[in-house]
Each structure stands twice: as C-alpha cells, then as structure tokens.
C-alpha cells in the first residue's frame, strides 16, 4: 500500500517531478507509464528512499521513507533499471549477498533461493558467474535478489527492457503471480503493451506531472480513443519522447 | 555490525577473483619492487667496479711541457693518448670524459717554484665522469705531494711540518646503518605499497560499482551507508596490509641476494624489525584506505577515479623525497606528522635500533586521526544521494 501526495523534486533548475499524487493498492499492479525523462525513475527513487523529495509526502504501509528508511527498505523489493549484478559472483552468490544484507539466516536464504529458482526457472544458471548472462537471465537474478527477503511491495523499473519474447512472457507471468499473492506491485515502463497486458491501474506521467490515472478502459473512455497508444499520445498531449 | 562484515567479506572474496586487483596487491609490491631493487643494486655495483678497475685512458694536451709528470702517470698505469684538436668540444660531446691540459708556462712556473697550473677538463654534471675525474685528480695530487715532500727534504725540512693536523675517522655507524640505498628506498617502497595494495579494490568497489550500476541496488538494502562504506574501506585496508606484509617478507628473502659491494654491508630484516614496521605502517594502511575510498566516492566515473589514483602516488612520495634530499635526525615532534614519521621509524627499525614507545604511539595516533577524518568524509559522501549517479 503506497500513498503519494504532491511530490516535488528538482535537480538544480530541472524540475523532474512537479506535484505527483497517486495510490497503489495491495493485490494490484500499477503501471507508471510515460515517455523517457518524464520523471518515472525519479519518482521510484523517492519511493525507495534514495532521493529525498523536496516537497510532498510518501507513505508505504504507513512508513515515511525520509524518516523510516531502514524499515521501508525491509518491506521493499526493488529491481532498478540498471540491474547491477556482480559479474565475478555466481547468480546464487549475488542473491545470498542481498539475503545476508537483510539479516536473513543462511538456512532461510538457502530455502528461499530454492523457491525462487523454481518459480523463476533459474536452475540452469544459478551456480554460474553472471558474467555474460543474457538480458533475460540477468533480469531473473535481479528479481530473485530483490525478492529474497519476501517484500510486500515490489518496485520494478523498466523490467522488460531488452528482453526477448519468451523472457517477457515469463516475466509477465511472474509479475501476475506476485499480484495474486497479494503484493502491491509498481512498474515503470514506456512500453504500451506491457501496461495493457499487466496493469490494473495506469498512471501516465509526462513532464513530471500526472497526465491521467485510471484503468485501461477508463483511459480509453476519457480520451475517446480506440487504442491505448492513441490514448497515451492524446493524454500526454504530444508524441515527444515516445520514439526515443 | 554484522552487515558491515557481510559487505567486507563479499568485497574481499569478489576481488580475489579479479586478476587486476591481485596484480596490484600481490605482484607490484611483493614481487616487482624487490626485483627492481636487486637489479638496480647489481647494476650500480657492477658499473662502479667496472669504472674503478678499468684502464684509465686520458688524452693529454701539451704532454711535452711536463714529461716527468706524464711518465709518472704512465708508471701508474694510465694510458696517455694524444688529444683531439678541440679538447673542450670532445668533452662536451662526451667522446672522452676527462682531458689533462698542461699549459706552455708549466715548465717556467715549475722552475721558479710557483704552483704550476694543470687544467683538468671535464663535465662534472655527467655522473659517469665522476670516477675517471676522481682517479685523475687523485693521481695528480699524489704527484704534487711527492714532489712537495722532495722539495722540503732538499731544504732539510721534515715533510711532517706540512701536516699540522691529521684527521682520523672513527666509524660509529652500525653495519646496517650504512646501507644508504636501502635506508632511503625501503620506506618509500613500503609507503607506496600501503597505498597501491588496496588501490584497485577501493576504486572498483566504489567508483566501479557506481559505473556498473550495482551501487544503487546495494544501497536499497537496509544497511546504513556508513556501514557499507566502512566494509569496503576495511576490505581495501586488508588488501593493502596483506600486500605490505608480503612485500616485507619478499625483502627479507631478497636482502641476502643483494651484492654486498653495492651497500658495503650485509642487510637483513629480522622478524622483530618486520613486526615493528608492520605496527608503524599499519595506521598508514588505514589512512590510505580512507583516502582512496574518499577519492573513489568523489569521482563520477571509473576513469575519473583512476586519474585521481595517479595523484595518490605522490602523497607517500613527498615525505620520502624530503627525507632523501635532506636527511634528518628523528626528533619527537616529527612523530606527529603522518607518513613522515613512518619514514623515520622504518629507518630506525631497519637499523635495528629500539624505538621508543612514545614515538610509536605518537606516529600511530596522528596517522589514525587523519585516517578517521578521511573515513568520516567518505561516510558523508556516501550519504549524498548523488553517490549512485554515474554521470
């Protein structure tokens, strides 16, 4: 459960986020959709307490990232855009490291990794060093690493970037599984099909502001368009950044 | 604190798998420096011997003006050559290193009992001319002294009247203290090792993580950032300390291989000296780790961090250079200066002197203090949000 109200963030003269408010409910997948540079990643970074907001309030399960950063980090699972695996360590070692940083016991981590290997289908490469992994394998390890401590809230930044069709399908199945298990999931993306296939709620962000907020059907009705893509362009008011 | 240990263990283990990191800590200090050392010593001693034992060939201009002097030189084994037309030019181009010129008025001055002028043409700024110059000068002086004595004796004066004082050297240096090359170089090498040993790890685990984008997810874990920083810094210090220890061990085995002629003495690093040096330089390792981590955290990219590392080489160099140019007697106040005090202490340990506890505590304390200041700066840098942004 995430509540965000009137969020602002500037970097020097650049106003990256200008008054964003939204809610994310448990058991739902919420998509942050927007062109590149719209402020999606900045918003996510404020959620996982990497950046302090200049103004506005965030509550994740009642906790404030600016004050209860450590507690919030325990309840969050984050897959950032960069993935950032350690290439000189095996997939398992990467995951164990994060488990230990969450203070989990060796035994607990071992059991959890067995579960994750099963659900994410990682048995083939779990013991291999991540150097030279395919994008799909990398995303799986990054997800397993983010999920090792069984977080309630899951934040995914551009999760399907660079994935082939099979990997994308597997990823979508996994994200839908999270929703069924009652997690609240936020994913940021600029890919329309992804939002259409996954999200219960869509929040369209453009120029650091919310251009629209609602289910896919609501957005279509609001814009009077037939396709989500047209609706998207209509709602953000330009095609700028879409092709980037 | 167990999270700090987790970060530490991961950095140590991951870098063991990195060839470049191992190269920096294991190869450079412990293997390359001793080899360089032995090589240089051999080279220096063989060159020196060569020049001392070589037949001295000296062109003489105006040999006919002083036939007795020339035959004296020949008796001493000097091969007299005819000089080129322009002796100055041939010295300038280093065709020959030393030329003797006997001016025409030599015979006249000689006969009238005035000091007869002999010109020695050489370029003392060329170090390779040092030895031939000294040898020629020595021979000429010997000739002068011999004739001087004869002249006094002819007039019935005892030659000792010319020697109102006699200087007698009483050598108080211990055998170890004479190994000047080692005394100057060893502290420098050890200080450099304290920096280079962990350099790669510091850069890789901070600026490198930033660039590979693994720092952002790492910092999303519920671990206070100062603990992440300290874990990385401790791993850096561990690598540097291991490198330092291996370097000392390598030198212990390398010293017996040094040509004794080069140093004039046999040098050895006792286990006790090694222990003392590790104790004295240990704080430098911590200071270095804190400094490197700070710089690596400041850098926006791996390349920027690496360019800072070139500057870091200068830091341990400065006190060593000051010491090289201006050797000083260790005094208590000097022990409060980080890096400089270790230079002096290493010297004391190698000389086999007992080092006062006060000195050791002052040196360690002042160095650790600066180290903690840098560590605090690094922790502050880690707390800035922009630590994770690479460009």
Residue A33: CATH number of its domain: 3.40.50.300
Q: How far apart are CA B137 and CA A25, in angstroms?
A: 97
Q: Which residues contact B35 (CB under 8 A, 6 or more apart)?
A: B254
- Name the average pLDDT for chain B: 85
CA distance A202 to A40: 13
- Contacts of residue A222, Cβ cutoff 8 Å, sequence gap at least 6: A212, A214, A231, A235
Q: Residue A24 above 80 pLDDT? A: yes
Q: What percentage of chain B carries pLDDT values higher than 70?
A: 91
**What region, left, alpha or beta, does residue A49 occupy, with left being phi > 0 and alpha being psi -120 to 50 degrees?**
left
Give the confidence band of B232 by pLDDT, cuts at 50, 70, 90.
very high
Sheet with A209-214, side-by-side order of all strands:
A76-79, A153-157, A184-189, A29-33, A201-206, A209-214
Averaged pLDDT, B194-217: 90
Interface check A73 vs B, CB under 8 A: yes
pLDDT in the model for residue B172: 62
Find chain B residues with C-beta within 8 A of A84's C-beta: 209, 212-218
Residue A12 lies in a domain: yes
ipTM of this complex prediction, to 2 decimal places:
0.91
Angle between the N-to-C axes of helices A135-147 and A91-101, in degrees from 0 to 180, rounded to the nearest 10: 20
Distance of residue B202 Cα from the nearest chain A Cα, in angstroms: 16
| Residue A244 domain flag | yes
Evaluate if residue B318 carries a pLDDT over 90: no
pLDDT band, very low/low/confident/very high, at B51 (cuts 50, 70, 90): low
Q: What is the pLDDT of residues A191-215, one digit of tens each?
A: 887 888 899 999 999 888 998 888 8
pLDDT digits (tens, 9 = 90+) for B283-317: 999 999 999 999 999 888 888 888 888 888 788 88
Q: How confident is the model at residue B184 (pLDDT cuts 50, 70, 90)?
A: confident
Lowest-pLDDT range of A174-178, B18-22, B301-305, B366-370: B18-22
- CB of B30 closer than 8 Å to CB of B249: yes
A181–chain B nearest CA distance, Å: 23
Could you read off the pLDDT of A167-197 as tens digits, one per residue? 888 899 999 999 999 999 999 988 887 888 8
Query: Phi and psi of A13, rounded to 5°?
Result: -85, -15
Pairing, β A76-79 against β A153-157? parallel
pLDDT at B95 over 90: no
Split into its structural domains, chain A has a count of 1
Q: What is the pLDDT of residue A243?
A: 44
CA distance linking residue B358 with residue B272, whole number of Å = 18
CATH number, domain B54-162, options 3.40.47.10, 1.10.357.10, 3.40.50.620, 3.40.1710.10: 3.40.1710.10
- Residue B123's pLDDT is what? 86
Mean pLDDT of the A118-127 span:
93
First-to-last CA distance in chain A?
Answer: 32
pLDDT at B215 over 70: yes
Output the pLDDT for position A240: 54
The string of pLDDT tens digits covering residues A77-87 is 999 888 889 99
Instruction: Kindly report the nearest CA distance between residue B224 and chain A, in angstroms.
Output: 8
Domain presence at residue A68: no
What is the full DSSP assignment across B329-376?
A: ---GGGGGSTTHHHHHHHHHHHTTPPPPHHHHHHHHHHHHHHHHHHHH
B221 near A CB under 8 A? yes
| Distance (Å, whole) CA A138 – CA A144 | 10
Q: Domain limits of chain B? A: 2-45+175-388, 54-162
Structure tokens at B334: 């000097």
The Cα–Cα gap between B268 and B183 comes to 12
Predicted confidence (pLDDT) per residue in B99-132, tens digit: 999 888 888 888 888 888 898 888 888 877 888 8
Asked if the structure places residue A121 within a domain, the reply is: no
Report d(CA B247, CA B238) in Å as an integer.
Answer: 14
Reply yes or no on whether the pLDDT at B41 is more than 80: no
How far apart, in whole angstroms, are the C-alpha atoms of residue B38 and residue A132?
A: 43
pLDDT for the residue B254: 83
Under an 8 A CB cutoff, do A73 and B388 touch? no
Higher pLDDT residue, B364 or A190? B364
CB contact under 8 A, A84 and B214: yes
CB neighbour burial string for A55-92, b if at least 16 within 10 angstroms, e if fewer: ebebbbbebebeebbebbbebbbbbbbbbbbbebbbbb
Best probe of the B interface among A101, A128, A143, by most B CBs < 10 A, is A101
Q: Is residue A174 exposed (0-12), middle (13-18) or buried (19+ Cβ within 10 Å)?
A: middle
Of A71, A74, A80, the CB nearest to B217: A80
Instruction: Check whether B364 has a pLDDT greater than 60.
Output: yes
Q: Report the pLDDT value the prediction gives residue A244, as an integer from 0 to 100.
A: 41
pLDDT in tens, B233-288: 999 999 999 999 999 999 888 887 776 655 555 567 888 889 999 999 999 999 99
Residues B273 and B275: their CA atoms lie apart, in Å, by 5
**pLDDT given for residue B225 in this prediction:** 93
Which residues make beta-bridge pairs with A125? none
| Partner-chain contact A101 B2, CB within 8 Å | no
Provide the domain limits for residue A237: 1-38+54-63+184-199+209-244
Query: Does B220 lie at the interface with A, CB-CB under 8 angstroms?
Result: yes
Average pLDDT of chain A is 89
Confidence of residue B52 (pLDDT cuts 50, 70, 90): low
Q: Does B302 contact A at CB distance below 8 Å?
A: no
Percent of chain A predicted with pLDDT > 70: 97
Question: Is residue B261 within 8 Å of residue B255, measured between CB atoms?
Answer: no
The CA-based angle A25-A26-A28, given to 5 degrees, is 75
| Backbone phi, psi, residue A189, to 5° | -160, 160
Q: What angle do CA B365, B371, B372 make, to 5 degrees?
A: 90
**How confident is the model at residue B174, as a pLDDT?**
53
Chain B residue with the nearest C-alpha to that of A44: B220
Per-residue pLDDT at A175: 94
Q: Decide if A98 touches B, using CB distance below 8 A.
A: yes
Q: Which residues contact B60 (CB under 8 A, 6 or more apart)?
A: B70, B73, B80, B81, B82, B83, B99, B100, B101, B102
Stretch (H or E) spanning A151: none
Indicate the helix (H) or strand (E) that contains B155: none
């Amino acid at each position: 459960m995430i509540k965000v109200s009137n969020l602002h963030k500037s970097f020097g003269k650049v106003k990256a986020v200008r008054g964003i408010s939204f809610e994310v409910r448990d058991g739902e997948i919420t998509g942050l959709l927007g062109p590149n540079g719209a402020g999606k990643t900045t918003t996510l970074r404020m959620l996982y307490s990497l950046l302090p907001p200049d103004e506005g309030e965030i509550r994740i399960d009642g906790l404030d990232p600016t004050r209860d950063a450590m507690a919030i980090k325990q309840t969050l699972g984050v897959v950032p855009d960069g993935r950032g695996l350690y290439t000189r360590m095996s997939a398992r070692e990467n995951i164990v490291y994060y488990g230990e940083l969450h203070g989990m016991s060796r035994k607990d981590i071992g059991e959890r990794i067995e579960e994750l290997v099963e659900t994410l289908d990682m048995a083939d490469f779990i013991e291999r060093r991540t150097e030279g992994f395919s994008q799909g394998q990398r995303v799986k390890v990054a997800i397993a690493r983010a999920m090792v401590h069984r977080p309630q809230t899951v934040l995914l930044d551009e999760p399907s970037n660079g994935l082939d069709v099979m990997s994308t399908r597997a990823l979508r199945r996994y994200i839908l599984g999270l929703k069924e298990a009652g997690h609240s999931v936020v994913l940021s993306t600029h890919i329309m099909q992804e939002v259409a296939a996954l999200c219960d709620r869509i929040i369209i962000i453009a120029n650091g502001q919310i251009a629209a907020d609602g289910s896919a059907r609501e957005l279509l009705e609001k814009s009077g368009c037939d396709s989500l893509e047209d609706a998207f362009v209509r709602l953000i008011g330009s095609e700028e950044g879409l092709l980037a | 604190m167990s999270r700090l240990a987790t970060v530490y263990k991961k950095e140590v283990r991951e870098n063991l798998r990195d060839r470049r990191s191992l190269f920096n800590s294991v190869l450079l200090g412990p293997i390359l420096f001793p080899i360089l050392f032995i090589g240089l010593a051999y080279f220096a001693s063989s060159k020196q011997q060569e020049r001392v034992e070589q037949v001295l060939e000296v062109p003489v201009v105006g040999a006919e003006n002083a036939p007795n002097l020339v035959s004296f030189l020949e008796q001493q084994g000097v091969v007299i050559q005819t000089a080129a037309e322009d002796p100055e030019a041939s010295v300038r181009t280093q065709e020959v290193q030393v030329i003797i010129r006997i001016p025409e008025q030599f015979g006249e001055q000689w006969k009238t009992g005035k000091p007869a002028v002999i010109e020695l043409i050489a370029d003392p700024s060329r170090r390779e001319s040092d030895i031939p110059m000294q040898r020629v000068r020595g021979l000429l002086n010997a000739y002068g002294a011999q004739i001087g004595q004869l002249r006094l004796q002819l007039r019935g004066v005892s030659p000792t009247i010319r020697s109102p004082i006699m200087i007698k050297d009483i050598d108080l240096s211990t055998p170890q203290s004479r190994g000047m090359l080692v005394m100057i170089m060893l502290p420098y090498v050890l200080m450099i090792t304290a920096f280079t040993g962990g350099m790669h790890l510091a850069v890789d685990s901070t600026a490198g993580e930033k660039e590979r984008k693994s720092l952002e997810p790492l910092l999303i874990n519920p671990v206070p950032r100062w603990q992440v920083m300290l874990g990385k810094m401790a791993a850096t210090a561990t690598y540097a300390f291991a490198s330092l220890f291996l370097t000392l061990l390598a030198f212990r085995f390398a010293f017996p291989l040094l040509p004794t002629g080069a140093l004039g003495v046999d040098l050895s690093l006792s286990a006790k000296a090694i222990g003392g040096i590790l104790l004295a330089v240990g704080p430098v390792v911590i200071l270095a780790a804190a400094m490197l981590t700070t710089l690596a955290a400041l850098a926006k990219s791996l390349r920027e961090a690496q360019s800072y590392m070139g500057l870091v080489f200068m830091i341990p160099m400065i006190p060593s250079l000051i010491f090289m140019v201006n050797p000083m007697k260790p005094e208590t106040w000097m022990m409060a200066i980080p890096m400089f005090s270790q230079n002096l202490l290493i010297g004391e340990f190698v000389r086999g002197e007992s080092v006062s506890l006060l000195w050791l505590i002052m040196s360690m304390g002042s160095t650790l203090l600066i180290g903690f200041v840098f560590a605090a700066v690094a922790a502050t840098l880690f707390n800035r949000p922009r630590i994770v942004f690479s460009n």
